[in-house]
A and B are shown apart, each in its own frame.
Chain A
Amino acid sequence: MTPSTWRITRRLLRQDWRSGELYLLGAALILTVAAITAVGFFTDRIETGMIRQGGELIAADLAVDGSSPAPADYLEEATRRGLVRARTQEFPSVVMGREGPQLVQVKAAEAPYPLRGRLRVHDGFSAEERTVEQGPPPGQVWVEARLLRLLGAQIGEEVGLGESRLRIGAILSYEPDRGGNVFQLAPRVLLNAADLPATGLVGPASRVKHRLLLAGDIGAVDAYSTWLKSRLPVNLTLVDGRTARPEFESALNRASRFLHLATLVTLLVAGSAIALASRRLVERQIDAVAIMRCLGAPRHLLMRVFVLRLALFGLGASLVGCLFGWLGQLGLVATLADWFGANLPPASWRPALVGVATGMIALLGFAVPPLLQLTQVSPLRALRRDLGTPRASATVAVLGAVAALALLILWQARDPDLAWKLLGGVALTVGTLVVSVLALVRLARGLAGRTRGVWRLGLAALTRRPTFAVLQIAGFGLGILALLLLAVVRVDLLKTWQAGLPPGTPNHFLINIQPQEVEPLRAFLRAQGIAQPDLFPMIRGRLVRINDRLVKPSDYQNPRAEGLAAREFNLSFADRPQTDNRITAGQWWPAGTTEPAFSVEKGLAETLNIKLGDRLTFFVSGHEVTAPVTSLREVRWDSFNVNFFVVSPPALLGAESATYITSIHLPHEREAMIPELVRRFPSVTLLNVDALLKQVRAVVDRGVLAVEYVFLFTLAAGVLVMFAGIQASLAERRTEHGILRTLGAGRRALLGSLAVEFTATGLLAGLLASIFAELTGWLLAERLFGLQFGFNPGLWLTGVLGSGLLIGLAGTLATYPLLIRPPLQTLRQAG
């Protein structure tokens, strides 16, 4: 680069800024980067925070599970990286009480277990629950309340565990990491790991589940996780907050998807504003380029100057955008401080880098193609203004914009499925928008011929330049679409999401209900005023063959698949799918069918590589049951309804011996009926998932708030697109109004024609935006988020009328100054 290129660039840039030429482009760019970085910083912190919340479900940030203790170098590496660690061991055993032996699930925990979350205990049946920092001291066990009832024991009594005798120190009411084992039937006994050797229960061949818990600085945990993943043998599993429980994972994924979607919509809308603003900038540069060409500036020098000027400007605007993004997330974090407390980790610098890169890609993709137009400017234009503006190659402009958009969406979405759907949606929307606008403009042209006065003038103005009308209506349409999507996603979709966990969501599971207890239990619950629940049969069965292939755990590399292949499944039968299930492949069977069939949960099918049409053989109650897979289902695990991995028609499994399971919502004030339930139905196990439900609900609420906030950026981008559209229209109509006024057109008539033109534009844009908003909302809800979406007539009313009014008013007001200025001044300015 020559010093003169640098000097000219700097001078032009400074003057551009002073003259306000770049304000609109700057605003669009700052907004894009601010949205990306605010979401980046914010999700960086929130996702980490959420994973930590999720971490409470495993009582750590990270855990390593295995059937043998974690190797010593894992521990050393953790210490080296400054991580806190604790080990736990779990195994089934028996405690000896006054009334005989009782099967229990023992957990021996090292201090400082738990590393995340808190244990909660009672000091007696009627005592208040209290939170404790660490597990029991040596010599004590903490046990679940039902074990005390089963043993007929009191707090303070000693029980036998293996060769030791340990004192019952407290009733254990909550373990943060119990969630993962919610369906364990045996009551829990928690003891200090220091007491374990003396019990003599654990030997080299014992069936013990070892878990290494780790926690610490997020960066160190991530680094450790990366270090570990590369050397993890198949018999060890890495568990983090996300994978701890499907309910939690499901809610986190949905929150993350909403946030990224919101960012992408902002990117899209702000990208349109950048494209519109660039077009205007280029138009205003044409004369300057012609003069410089006259003065001997070669094309490559001008391109260098313009690209450098744009790049410097883009860098500056992106940095300002980063600053706004940073401030934006600070404000939000402050609002949410109550929820996250001091736990929210600081953001990394990565979102700023991503923000600047995004800004530059958006600017280069959207603005460089229109800039290429400038290379076509003839120096002769300096002599002859009538030469007009060279037209940029539409193909280059579209390709540039599409390439930038595709790159950004694929990069930012972090979810190829979401990215491709969005890209497809954008392509379809833009295509349909152009065709629809052209059709509507033709219609308006027909109408203009039949009207008079301001109507004729206004409608004619709209139809005179079809390309500009398409651009303007598409721009307005996008802006309105952003606003309507805000309504659809923010209000409808988020409410639908929250409604997935309404106040009456089940918070207790009743399991192990014997067939003969089904009716008495129903009657009991009815008498207690509990809503009539569905009871589902549950049959234990091990998957032995997929088609003719034997299922062996060792065949699977994936630890989850290995685990699934090794264990018994809970199968069920039903005539219709659960309300929160969605069939993703194949068909559910007709009620009363006698044909053998299985419906398999999608995630399980993917893990075990089961395809539609495969024949599955389960070993159930001593014999084999075989049937083809006729459907795959997506299950909302965060609904807290009873769900099964594999379901068959009643004709196939109905005759097998089954126990029953149900989930109920038990309000706090009705918990007094629990002792009576336990007494009347001794074999039934009641599991309280209230705490887990509260955690998932908190994630949902936080997610909703975060998404609402992010959509504020989309809203601003929408407003900016509309402003850019009006600005572009101002430049187009300046000469026209000057001439019309010189010819004697009255101010009132021109104002009327403006109002008609802008209102018609607004109505058309609003109509198209409403159609697309409704379609997008439906697609997002049904296809992406697996939620039920309701048609919203209010949206159409607001979309069409609101848009007509808003754009009509804004456009007329923005153009009005052209009418009050003397016509000569307007003409001079138009040049």
Chain B
Amino acid sequence: MTVNPVAVVASAQGLGKHVTGPSGTLTILEGLDLQVQAGEAVAILGASGSGKSTLLGLLAGLDSASCGEVWLCGQQLRGLNEDGRAELRAGRVGFVFQSFQLLPTLTALENVLLPLELTGNEDAASRADEALERVGLTPRAGHYPRQLSGGEQQRVAIARAYAPRPAVLFADEPTGNLDEATGEHIIDLLLDLRAESGAALVLVTHDARLAERCDRRLRMHDGALEAMA
């Protein structure tokens, strides 16, 4: 299989993940194939424990596969060590987590600055200001995560994810910890920013409404993916 580095931002072929526990080997993913095109929004749905988050981790290079191949931003992950994968992610991959994962000791602005500074971005400050403004949190720039509501924290996380202008954004249950109204707002923001930036979005969710608004929906079942109508 050949991968066009421009058209395909993330792909997996024959991907498998097995873990060895006290009761023997457990298969989480088996022979999974997936391609995510640039600018595409893909929703992955499935029951708890079906391996959605594991797939997300493997696609983003946070974990190593037991078998199969993964390409991220045109580069094959096999053969890259932990640091090589981190360097590949830097500036190209964004994350939004269910539990926000902001650094509690940094302000909202500093949290947004972090990925920009990690990549040595020249205009980190202006980009961070811009990203915060885009999510409507400029007045809260100096606040610490504990001083923000759940929805505000997730908006900071979205600003942090989009600020480096990534090629692909991985979101793990981004509305899972939020009430319905706030969740709605976060979905709008995520998709609007996706449209504006042209980044691909790989979304793991239980939220059917959120999945409905993506270009493609896939269901995770028995360690494999199947397309949904």
Contacts and interface: CB of A to CB of B under 8 A. Distances in A.
A294 B95 contact: yes
B117 A298 contact: no
Given A4-B118, A382-B62, A293 B110 contact: no
A291 B124 CA distance: 18
A51 B112 CA distance: 62
A257 B82 CA distance: 52
Contacts of B23: none
Contacts of B124: 4
Contacts of B172: 383
Interface in A1-33: 2-4, 7-8, 11-12, 15-16, 18-19, 21
A19 B105 contact: yes
B106 interface: yes
Interface in A369-386: 378-380, 382-385
A12 B57 CA distance: 27
Contacts of A7: 117
Nearest to B85: A379
Nearest to A6: B117
A7 B160 CA distance: 17
Interface stretch (B96-104, B131-139, B179-187, B190-198): B96-104
A301 interface: yes
Nearest to A287: B101
Contacts of B101: 287, 291, 294, 382
Nearest to B91: A296
B188 interface: no
Nearest to B81: A299
Contacts of A298: 83, 86-87, 90
A691 interface: no
B105 A2 contact: no
A234 interface: no
Interface string B42-74: 000000000001001100101100000000000
Contacts, number: 90
Nearest to A8: B117
A492 to B, nearest CB: 47
Contact of A15 (B63, B91, B93, B105): B105
B115 interface: yes
- Best-buried of B105, B121, B124 by chain A (most CB within 10 Å): B105
Given A8-B114, A8-B117, A383-B56, A296 B86 contact: yes
Nearest to A290: B101
A16 B105 CA distance: 7
Nearest to B84: A298
A541 to B, nearest CB: 79
A384 B103 CA distance: 16
Contacts of B115: 295-296
A299 B62 contact: no
Contacts of B110: 11, 15
Given A16-B105, A380-B57, A294 B89 contact: yes
A292 interface: yes
Contacts of B92: 296
A824 interface: no
A301 B89 CA distance: 14
A491 interface: no
A294 B106 contact: no
A396 to B, nearest CB: 19
Given A15-B105, A292-B114, A378 B62 contact: yes
Contacts of A15: 105-106, 110
B53 A293 contact: no
A291 B93 CA distance: 13
A379 B105 contact: no
A300 interface: yes
Nearest to A376: B82
Interface in A229-262: none
B87 A296 contact: yes
Nearest to B92: A296
A745 to B, nearest CB: 26
A281 to B, nearest CB: 12
A830 interface: no
Given A8-B114, A292-B114, A294-B62, A19 B104 contact: yes
* Interface bin, chain A: 20 to 34
A299 B104 CA distance: 21
B8 to A, nearest CB: 20
A383 B53 contact: yes
A291 B53 contact: no
A378 B82 CA distance: 9
A2 B95 CA distance: 25
B147 interface: no
B62 A380 contact: yes
A383 B119 contact: no
A297 B92 CA distance: 12
A288 interface: yes
Contacts of A295: 89-90, 95, 114-115, 118, 160
Interface in A761-812: none
A296 B118 contact: yes
Given A8-B117, A8-B118, A18 B93 contact: no
Contacts of B95: 294-295, 382
Interface string B119-150: 11100100000000000000000000000000
A378 B53 CA distance: 15
Contacts of A385: 99
A12 B105 contact: yes
A2 B89 contact: no
A299 B82 contact: yes
A21 B97 contact: no
B54 to A, nearest CB: 9
A11 B144 CA distance: 14
Nearest to A288: B103
Nearest to A305: B118
B93 A296 contact: yes
A15 B91 CA distance: 24
Interface in A417-444: none
A9 to B, nearest CB: 10
A292 B120 CA distance: 14
Nearest to A21: B105
Given A8-B117, A292-B118, A299-B83, A379 B90 contact: no
Contacts of A16: 105
A825 to B, nearest CB: 12
Contact of A379 (B86, B99, B106, B113): B86
B63 A380 contact: yes
Contacts of A300: 83
- Best-buried of B87, B101, B172 by chain A (most CB within 10 Å): B101
A2 B120 contact: yes
Given A8-B118, A296-B115, A296-B119, A291 B87 contact: no
Contact of B62 (A11, A12, A292, A383): A383
A18 B105 contact: yes
A375 to B, nearest CB: 9
A449 B110 CA distance: 51
A16 B103 CA distance: 11
B117 to A, nearest CB: 4
Interface string A115-140: 00000000000000000000000000
Interface in A286-332: 287-288, 291-301
B216 to A, nearest CB: 22
A287 B101 CA distance: 8
A297 B105 contact: no
B220 to A, nearest CB: 15
Given A296-B91, A380-B63, 4 more contacts: A295-B90, A296-B93, A383-B56, A383-B62
25 contacts: A2-B120, A3-B120, A4-B121, A4-B124, A8-B114, A11-B106, A11-B110, A15-B105, A15-B106, A287-B101, A292-B118, A295-B118, A295-B160, A296-B88, A296-B115, A296-B118, A297-B118, A298-B83, A298-B87, A379-B86, A380-B63, A383-B62, A383-B172, A384-B57, A385-B99
Q: Which 6 A-B pairs give the minimum distances between C-beta atoms?
A: A296-B90, A15-B105, A296-B89, A295-B115, A298-B83, A380-B62
